[in-house]
Structure 1
Amino acid sequence: MRLAALLLLTAWGLQAHAGAQKYEPLAASVQAALHAAIADRAAPEPRFASIEEKIDWLTEMSRRLEKRMPDRQARLEFLKTVRYEAQRAGLDPQLVLGLIEVESGFRKYAVSMAGARGYMQVMPFWVDLIGEKSHNLFHLRTNLRYGCTILRHYLDIENGDLFRALGRYNGSLGRPEYPNMVRAAWEKRWAWGPRIIQARQ
């Protein structure tokens, strides 16, 4: 009896309490473009304006993430991959960190009630729609690539309207709670820029 209760609690702890993207038919050209975006396998080296910015950004983001990801090497790999995939999709890496915080709480193996998976809570139907059957949504880079590509797609179809794009991402289009939570996480806990660095010095 105690073992069954323990297993139930463990399973509950792995659940993510976020929403999920909804399946929508895609035009063939959009599907092909998204497939190409997923398939590109360039090395994940994020861009920085200087070596100083690279050190500052990784040091500061690593400090903020330390309690959630105690392993330093895994934390740095995660941050570099987030930055690379966000930049590749034309997104602010800080926004992506805020979204991950809300979606999965930085849990690699999080699964929502709807079946969305991983850090960015990607729905499995996307693998059939734009990926390949071998793609594992719990794999760090695969999950972040799908998540960033999907958010970029939603931003494009919403003409840059972040509020509506986030609503689509979460499957809660038109409701303010989720976009407001992501924005709050982004601005309060993951903001980055020269003014913030100067204030801390």
Structure 2
Amino acid sequence: MRSCGLLGLLSKIELAQAGSQIEEPLADAVRGALSSAVHNAAPPVPEFSNTEARLAYLRWLAAMSDRLRSKKPDWAVRREFLETVWYESHRAGLEPALVLGLVQVESNFRKFAVSSVGARGYTQVMPFWTRVLGDGDPAKLFHMQTNLRFGCVILRHYLDREGGDLFMGLGRYNGSRGKAPYPGAVLSARKNWVLTP
């Protein structure tokens, strides 16, 4: 019975084209802050300070849902994914279009994507991050919210290390710091997810 479950999971796993994030030593304070950001179990429930903000979110959700339909045909799955992207990107101080562009390049919106170097899930998180910031269980990187949270927290960390420089931060995220192809691909994909008035 267990081998059938494992075979079913393996059949869903698709290889992704990701670089190799490099495990770098982290200061205890940085590791603590990142770990805390990953473990805050707040649910992805949007909260709005006013009606206008809520309407802006609903317009974004409708527009992104239309654009994502070919990758995620089921409305409930698509809505949950977009709600989580919106929540986790805002939580990390990132633009949702940037996160969606990163997911498009990293996994092409495949939940069970695995790269040739072992990066996993939507945002292609390297398993060492679960040891550094979590409980060491890399299987959790196939859980949607966990993966998106790790990806957003790690990207925010790299952008902070690079003084907000998107080109360098994205390169560091991919393990190709200073090289143009990966940041260029994410920034190009980001254009697909910008909400135009």
Q: Deviations over 1:30-82 (max 9, x none)?
A: 00010100110112123555332122111100000000001110000000000
Which residue identity lines up with residue 50 of structure 1 in the other structure? A
Which residue identity lines up with residue 150 of structure 2 in the other structure? Y
Unmatched runs of 5 consecutive residues or more in structure 2:
1-6
Unmatched runs of 5 consecutive residues or more in structure 1:
1-6
Separation in 2, partners of 1:148, 1:64: 21
Match of 2:150 in 1: 146
RMSD of aligned alpha carbons: 1.8
Match of 2:185 in 1: 181
Separation in 1, partners of 2:11, 2:18: 16
Residues 1:28 and 2:28 aligned together: yes
Q: How does 1:123-162 map to 2 (within 5 A)?
A: 123-134=126-137, 136-162=140-166
Contact 2:89 2:152 in 1 (8 A): yes
Q: How does 1:1-201 map to 2 (within 5 A)?
A: 14-47=14-47, 49-134=52-137, 136-187=140-191, 189-192=192-195, 196-197=196-197
Contact 1:20 1:121 in 2 (8 A): no
Identity of aligned residues (%): 53
Contact 1:20 1:122 in 2 (8 A): no
Residues 12/37 of structure 1: CA separation in 2 closer, same or farther (3 Å cut): closer
Q: Deviations over 1:147-185 (max 9, x none)?
A: 000000001111101100000000111110000000011
Which residue identity lines up with residue 155 of structure 1 in the other structure? L
Separation in 1, partners of 2:125, 2:165: 20
Which residue identity lines up with residue 156 of structure 1 in the other structure? D
